[in-house]
Amino acid sequence: MSDHYLVTGCAGFIASGVCRCLLEAGHEVLGIDSLNDAYDPRLKHWRLNQLSVHANFMFAQIDITDRAALAGVFAGDRPFGGVMNLAARAGVRQSVTNPWVYQSTNVEGTLNLLDLCQRHGTRRFILASTSSLYGGHNAVPFREDADVTRPLSPYAASKLGAEALAYTYHHLFGLHVTALRFFTVYGPAGRPDMSVFRFVRNISEGDPIVVFGDGSQERDFTYVDDIARGVCAALKLEGYHTINLGSDRPAKLRAMIDMISGMVGREPKIEYRPAHPADVPATWADITRARTELDWSPKVSFEAGLQAAVDWYQAERSWAKELSLGDV
């Protein structure tokens, strides 16, 4: 049976994959996105163009911090079967420079959506959260019941605030809420400010890459299509849940660089800089809950996912090489 879903941040990396997942399952999707310049908007427009071929996809340019515009979206004739809030300001280091926009989008924007769900009878709410909540003091692999009260960046703090508000609306109004904590998502058409895109682009073009620390830090890289499947699977849950979505297979940053170098066929030029205080030394997801509650586990290996990211870049190189990578 088809349903009608609202997906925020639909031109974003993860959200565009979630839209595809829903559309291919026969659902109708209203996607909203501010199309801001947090990173090069050309990539957002490319993803949006890929979605526009689907007859069941509709788009509106709206910022989730604009409560009046959001209210108009909810006032339509057909109620939403669920809201999937993937609109966010992301990025650990950038949040140290401008924490206010993270508070506005990630906390106030989430509050706007939760309140409108409550007012218009939308019962299911999926929140994109982050592994950054686990900070640097928890043992790996990270379990969902670990202490998340010591975030190391304004980005992580804003997501902790969003999770807290989501729980409050579940408690007060009975919304079915699932907060999904994503672990370092990568793949084709990924964010240009993240390491995989940045390294693929710079190694391919013979430009230097910047590594903070010695490259021994580990990340639980998770392929974007696997994440999208997990998000869609969470729509079946009732009650309140926090669930990790990760690969359960951490990789060292230096190993990732070597793999990309081999796929591209060029040696990397590496500039090492001191570790950033907002970065955590390692991420590793315990995905027991995802397996049990969502019947979900990752399908795409890190090697296959990296190759897909490299292949995408090579196919789109004529314009992708011109994308701004933002501040390091």
Residues with catalytic function: 155
- Classified as helix, coil or strand, 318 is helix
Provide the CA 106 distance to its chain's centre, in angstroms.
12
CB 151 within 8 A of CB 279: no
- List the Cα angle 132/155/20 in 5-degree steps: 75
Q: Give the closest residue to 125 by CA, choosing from 136, 135, 134, 115.
A: 115
> What backbone torsions phi and psi does residue 315 show, to the nearest 5 degrees?
-70, -35
Q: How far is CA 242 from CA 104, 146, 233, in A?
A: 22, 11, 13
Burial of 204 (0-12, 13-18, 19+ CB in 10 A): buried
Q: Give the closest residue to 179 by CA, choosing from 91, 278, 110, 279.
A: 110
Omega cis (within 30) before 141: yes
CB 64 within 8 A of CB 113: yes
What gap in Å lies between CA 12 and CA 2, rounded to an integer? 24
Structure tokens belonging to residue 117: 């769900």
Partners of residue 186 on adjacent β-strands: 223
- Residue identified by tokens 């490259």 is 215
